[in-house]
Amino acid sequence: MFGKFGPWEIALILIIILIVFGVGKLPQVGGAIGKGIRAFRKAQSGEDEEEGKSKPKPDSQVDKKV
């Protein structure tokens, strides 16, 4: 039922997206969607956990008096 989209249906969806978000907001919306997808993939593969373990802790004493 929803599996086949023709060119007219895709064009209609794109026109509705342009009306809702406007031309100026489309790059921001696309960037946000891309960042969300990247974060989701990293979370699935477990890269976030590995990065947190491998990063050294910053030195809390910046001014060391000798």
For the chain, give the secondary structure using H, E and C: CCCCCCHHHHHHHHHHHHHHHCCCCHHHHHHHHHHHHHHHHHHHHCHHHHHHHHCCCCCCCCCCCC
Q: Is the pLDDT of residue 9 over 80?
A: yes
Confidence of residue 45 (pLDDT cuts 50, 70, 90): confident
Q: Specify the pLDDT at position 41.
A: 93
Q: Specify the pLDDT at position 56.
A: 57
Q: Is the pLDDT of residue 63 over 80?
A: no
